[in-house]
Amino acid sequence: MFSFFSQLDTKKKFIFLFLSTLVIGFLIQSIFKGLNNSCDILWQPTNIFWSGINHYEYQLRTRDIFLGCQKGQYGHFMFILFYPLTFFEWEQVKIFWMIVNIILAMSIPILICRSFNIPTIASFLILGIFLTSHPTRMTFNLGQNSLMIFFFLMLPFLTLKSINKNAILILSGISYVKYSTGYILFLNLFIEKKYKNLFLTTILTIFGWLFYSYYTETNLIESFIDPLKFIIIDKMIRTGDLYSILNIYLLKDTNLLNKIIQLSVIMFFNVYFLYQIKDTRDKLAKLAVICILPLIFMPHGNYDYVLLLPILIYGIKNFELKISKYCVYLALYYFYLHRIVKHKIDNDIIYQNLMFIVFFIFIIFFCNHVKKLNHE
């Protein structure tokens, strides 16, 4: 970093320092907000589980949601992974998780940029954009786990020579604890017929299910079904995704049959787009598609749009291409302007439909672009 800084002329040094100050200012503001809030950290469900109680059944039965937002609808392994949280009181947990999120927010763009040979000055620009983006700041503010899920989801696509490939695949399976995101990695490996890799990614999920069942003395079948009950009862209407739109217009009743129809339609589109890119050798393009598909088809909060980072990096790296400019525009819009425009429109239904149409058209053109490049 210092060698890079010393090579800049006086004007560029001033601009760099000014922008760095802005980034630090945004970061400090988000940290203070997060320490006052951070209500989404899964502290209560984790404590309930490590007390030997099935937290899924407990929360479904009592509707006891700590701070109104700590729903335990994640996979079993999440609550094993979060065991260290049980050693802290609530206020200490917020500090601990804020440190974890800051480390992740710094590491994710750096790891991606290094893996795909992004120039130093562009890497600093990308890091600054990511740290000041609305999704990242929302993750800090709410104590969300979106950065953690993103980190494990991206691992198989990076160049990490110092880590064993099998270990990377096993760790990437942690992304499965968030079904609305991790499913895409499972689906992609299945479509690519990489069955050994697929099995390795499921090891922690299987272990989590078995250990959770043993520790809470829950029947294996019941334990397997428990997390799915949250999906069935929750309509989960979020921001501009097909799942939410189907809930609004077509499948208003939260019964099992409607959920099966809904998920079948969504899986059809996911499979279609993954088939379009399955033969590409451009790992950055593939990572970009892997990250954006869950945002288009499954319900997510604003904090989950940290997953737009690979699209931004692809666009900056290949900015001479027309499609890449749209990659940059789309990411920057959602990182900075989305919340403002949504507030101005002041109609969630209209805005959701517009956002879905924009993202859907974009992924069609982007996948066609990736497929065409692969044939050239």
Mean pLDDT within 17-29: 76
For residue 100, the model assigns a pLDDT of 94
* Least confident stretch, 8-12, 58-62, 91-95: 8-12
Higher pLDDT, 213 or 57: 213
Q: Which has the closest alpha carbon to 118: 258, 312, 368?
A: 312
**Where residue 342 falls among pLDDT bands split at 50, 70, 90?**
confident
Range picked from 62-66, 78-82, 237-241, 248-252 for highest mean pLDDT: 78-82
d(CA 369, CA 276): 10
Higher pLDDT, 321 or 5: 321
Higher pLDDT, 194 or 299: 194
For residue 344, the model assigns a pLDDT of 85
d(CA 157, CA 357): 28
pLDDT digits over 27-48, tens only? 777 777 777 777 788 898 999 9
Specify burial of residue 269 (Cβ count, 10 A radius: 0-12, 13-18, 19+). Answer: middle
For residue 260, the model assigns a pLDDT of 81
Higher pLDDT, 237 or 357: 357
Q: Which has the closest alpha carbon to 202: 217, 212, 189, 218?
A: 189
State yes or no: pLDDT of 153 exceeds 90: yes
> What is the torsion angle, in degrees rounded to the nearest 10, for the CA atoms of residue 307, residue 238, residue 303 and residue 63?
-130
Q: What is the SS3 string spanning 31-71?
A: HHHHHHCCCCCCHHHHHHHCCCCCHHHHHHHHCCCHHHCCC
Range picked from 62-71, 133-142, 154-163, 167-176 for highest mean pLDDT: 167-176
For residue 228, the model assigns a pLDDT of 82
State yes or no: pLDDT of 335 exceeds 60: yes
d(CA 318, CA 310): 12
For residue 241, the model assigns a pLDDT of 87
Question: What's the whole-number average pLDDT of the chain?
Answer: 88
d(CA 247, CA 265): 12
Distances (CA, A) of 198 to 150, 212, 297: 18, 22, 22
For residues 20 and 52, the answer to whether their CB atoms sit within 8 Å is no
d(CA 278, CA 329): 25
State yes or no: pLDDT of 202 exceeds 60: yes
Collapsing DSSP states into helix, strand and coil, what is residue 73? coil
For residue 162, the model assigns a pLDDT of 78
For residue 40, the model assigns a pLDDT of 81
State yes or no: pLDDT of 16 exceeds 70: no
Distances (CA, A) of 287 to 195, 212, 246: 19, 31, 26
Mean pLDDT within 145-161: 94
Q: Give the predicted TM-score (pTM) of the model.
A: 0.92
Mean pLDDT within 142-162: 92
State yes or no: pLDDT of 13 exceeds 70: no
pLDDT digits over 92-129, tens only? 999 999 999 999 999 999 999 999 999 988 998 899 99
For residues 165 and 173, the answer to whether their CB atoms sit within 8 Å is no
Show the tokens assigned to 270: 């996911």
For residues 106 and 24, the answer to whether their CB atoms sit within 8 Å is no
For residue 270, the model assigns a pLDDT of 96
- Which spans in the chain are helix H? 2-6, 10-36, 43-49, 55-62, 76-81, 90-115, 120-132, 134-142, 146-154, 165-172, 179-191, 195-216, 220-233, 242-249, 256-277, 283-297, 309-317, 322-332, 338-345, 348-375
